[in-house]
Structure 1
């Protein structure tokens, strides 16, 4: 018993959200959980081993974190500090107002994504893009307000929590999990550093509960789809396959269905991520790497006319390997989350993995260094929490959304402008 207590005491001394622990922990956990596929790997013929690129990515990330930590690197102020220091808050108010207006337009024009998948996938792209500025601004404005409080009473904590909850509910109506997850995780990290340290044992408990809730949220979206709408059809590809192949597919489906749907839903996103990464590796073996075009698509989506999003490109890549077998990895009209290692591997294989994970390690470690320089109770903590949240969620989603890249850029730039040069 005494040994167990000593273990938990040591466990709780770990800084839960340091770049050495949090991102690598979620990364390893995500792909470990994906191994429990309940027959889905066999159904989609997963034949590429994903663990070498995953291992290389982890080693490169930790090496980059260690390098930036050892050198005590931080982001420069880019010469803007003397002009803009103390004024970045005004930009946040402006961004929040723009986001609020766009959100209200969507709401009053019936664009409530949670009502049906067909609605969620057809939200006005420009309004949806700009409405994200609302929750982004609210997170940073609330953090700034909390940091300026001389006496953060329970009543004030409750008031700020209610404001955050209202924004959560607003974006739940849009039907997207990612903004909710970013808001919650950023708030969780800020709470840990600024208000009360969260013990690692408590964090692990909350992580399990949240993982289940978000998985079941996705499951709820699927089971509540209106299947009478063409967009929500669940038919396979219109191709001719041999009777032998059809019988084989049916046997595999029966094997999958031995596990209840709600059980499969618990780790369905992780399993899909594993399948997609393996299929990306298979696709690049056959057709070569995209060599930058995937990431160029992040910016081309804002150009006039119809543009193909990076996730649509990934969908076409992975589906092309299974359509002839009468299967879709991702149904038509939907897009595929490639995982972060998947998007890097699609671009340049192991070179892409090395570059991408090195950038992640350097960015998080440099922001963490600035938190330590400025003091835990500083604006830098909010920026570090936000970027950590985005990077962590991108393990599944990939980092292919222009709005998130712009938000990360703003967080880094504003942190550099507002930094306090002192050691704690």
Structure 2
């Protein structure tokens, strides 16, 4: 878990980490979306369209190659998302304020803003550089540790700060990137700061490729919490880190698909971008990308469209995303009879509003599966007057109608720069996701 957390610094790095693990297993082959697929039963494959979404799948060794899919040729899907709330660096981001240089950033998703103040922050993502052959070259970039800070206003300058203040995203949340050395009164060093120069430096440091700042055509860079994950609690039973939402679910999806030895039918682990901003993008869950890939899998295995639709309707789907653990200081915020706490195991998330895709049929199946595999599991509703958030579950289940459920581990301070989880809950989620894909 810590290895995944420390490598998933941006959506690009998360996808890169997933692909490396798929390749390391030796059982997965990359497919290109613009090429014809020739699939074989009993093999693993993956696609990475648009750089931040990964869809990995395995075809069972006994999967039917012609005719209507056998009733045992089940389609099973588990899905998570690769993004988390934070900030993205804008174009021409340098903002001078006296001897300071700040970065102009745009907030991404529903971050708890004040948790980002006074923390060491890093930057990571992707940059596209002008190539010698006329094609832009793409490079993963990480500023390698703390590089920025968003400073709070001292209490002496804001005596009411502990009474609560509203933070302005354009004013209060700009990271400090550089403090110029002042040699004399009102006389600062002329060296200045260039974000593109910093990018060029790190491209050379990481990839040994020389690039001038003007050769950087575009970039997609995220600001992340540079603090390392840390265990807390009397028995170190808890883990604090940035990005637990949703690395915890990504890990379970990845371990399940790479750990399966054989399966019947088709099993899929999908990792989508843009969940935190609504999923409405070409590489988000609210696109046709997964449905298209499943249909291509079926066609390559010899099924026609009628058989593909039959397999979907007979399929099963789990959406993996974190759940709200009861905050011990505010128990009034949670449902009085079905609230969950850290250490309560896997949470099956339910909502009559359909914020979650869980249906009673799948809930029963999951509880039985959990019992057979010694997985601790709880069914959770939110307070009726606090609707909570939503997941990719309802989005995907409306496009791919099949029995479905939303599950995840409970965490504290969801969308904070530093979230808290139980280590034992992660082990339970890993076991349940693996059992779900491996069942016959």
TM bucket (normalised to shorter chain) is under 0.3
The structure where helix makes up a greater share of residues is: 1
The structure where strand makes up a greater share of residues is: 2
TM-score, normalised to structure 1, is 0.27
TM-score, normalised to structure 2, is 0.26
